[in-house]
Amino acid sequence: MKYYSLQGTSPEVDFREAAIRGQAPDKGLYFPKTIPAVSSKLIDGIDEYSKEEIAFQVIRPFVGGCIPDPDLQNIVAETVSFEFPLVRVQEDIYSLELFHGPTLAFKDVGARFMSRCLGYFTTSQNKKITVLVATSGDTGGAVANGFYGVDGVEVIILYPKGKVSSVQELQLTTLGKNIFALEVQGSFDDCQQLVKKAFVDSELNKALFLTSANSINVARWLPQQFYYFFAYQQWKDKKHPPVISVPSGNFGNICAGLLAHHAGLPVKHFIAACNANDIVPGFLSNGQYRPKKAVATLSNAMDVGDPSNFVRVLELFHHEFDSLKASLSSYSISDAATKEAIRYVYTKYHYLLDPHGAVGYLSLEKYFEKQGREPAIFLETAHPVKFYDVVEPIIGEKVEIPESVQSLMGKKMQKVSMEVDYEALKEFLMDSSRR
């Protein structure tokens, strides 16, 4: 398997090079040269396969022999070593719970797979790899947990001050060792711009081996296909594939779902569920893609004003607008509606949504208003406890705290505060005293 840059001026590379680089030298995102078809045997007999077997078959052609099969099987087994239950919420709506991993968020899958791939690749590297990542919430904790203690890798996480939940902040600031957290006095978009500047800084890249752990990295993006296959495995009516609503911020998750569909996974339609950051709903409405400054919302992991992975979505559809609209709808949900959905679903169906899942649920309802009701899935991308300060006042009850979160309480946060200042970031990155 070869990967090409969506900017079109960098040489093609294999999976190993794409994963280590993160971005192409021309600053484009890497994209697979071909979309390998999933075997009909896997689709037709999916009930007979284990999660590990499904994931291995899905990812193996993308890795293209860069990791021997026995090692790749071990990496995949560690990546999906928790449950991905499909839970019935009401008669025709199901929740795919993606919060049963170590940091209680869907990003555990991509972070665990990428960290183990880089760990494998660094055994032949003489230079330490520096993973530089911006987070709007869940990415930071998942990456920190996935890379914690990995030899030959240090992780620098930038997050916007006051715009991640208290649990999210604990998850990305309390590990220490090879994990470093930078609290930026700005938005997620500011953090992402700082990271992008670092990747184009020739002086910095001569001194350090930089790569990204955001979903722009193929090793983070591609394994997100797994849980769409796991959802289909649990789907009872295989003759009528589901509509799937995906809470969407940087669009890596839904792009992985669309990729799986292109490869042969049966899905009737996708919905990109967005909060007040409505760039893609606007684009699908009028054909105009207009990035905006991100707006802070309750569903903070989706507070993205210029989603990096949307260019991959466009590439999947060969930039054909009508073809894209036939497969993808998108809706914008307000904070007020998000709160009401959490209250309503908990009161009527005794199911507790987090703010991101609530956006996914409401986007299904909007789709039903136009298309009529049909069996559907929304992705519950994070455990509600990660947003207990939002959820508890809505339902008037305490959210049960899982053991993994209880262990963080009272731990000292280790973080460095900084302004939106690239020179300050560069100075921190060049400082060898922490290594």
Distance CA 354, CA 299 (A): 8
Contact 13, 30 (CB under 8 A): yes
Q: In sequence order, what are the residues at sequence separation of 6 or more whose Cβ sits closer than 8 angstroms to the Cβ of residue 308? A: 29, 192, 214, 215, 216, 250, 251, 252
In this structure, what token pair is assigned to residue 351?
């199911």
Q: In sequence order, what are the residues at sequence separation of 6 or more whose Cβ sits closer than 8 angstroms to the Cβ of residue 31? A: 3, 4, 5, 6, 312, 315
Contact 280, 307 (CB under 8 A): yes
Residue type, 114: M
Distance CA 270, CA 376 (A): 10
Distance CA 146, CA 359 (A): 27
Question: Measured in Å, how far apart are the chain's first and last C-alpha atoms?
Answer: 35
Q: Is 107 a catalytic residue?
A: yes
Contact 379, 360 (CB under 8 A): yes
Distance CA 49, CA 69 (A): 17
The burial of 212, by beta-carbon neighbours within 10 Å (0-12 exposed, 13-18 middle, 19 or more buried), is given as: buried
Of residues 41, 51, 107, 411, which has the active-site annotation? 107
> Which residues are designated catalytic?
107
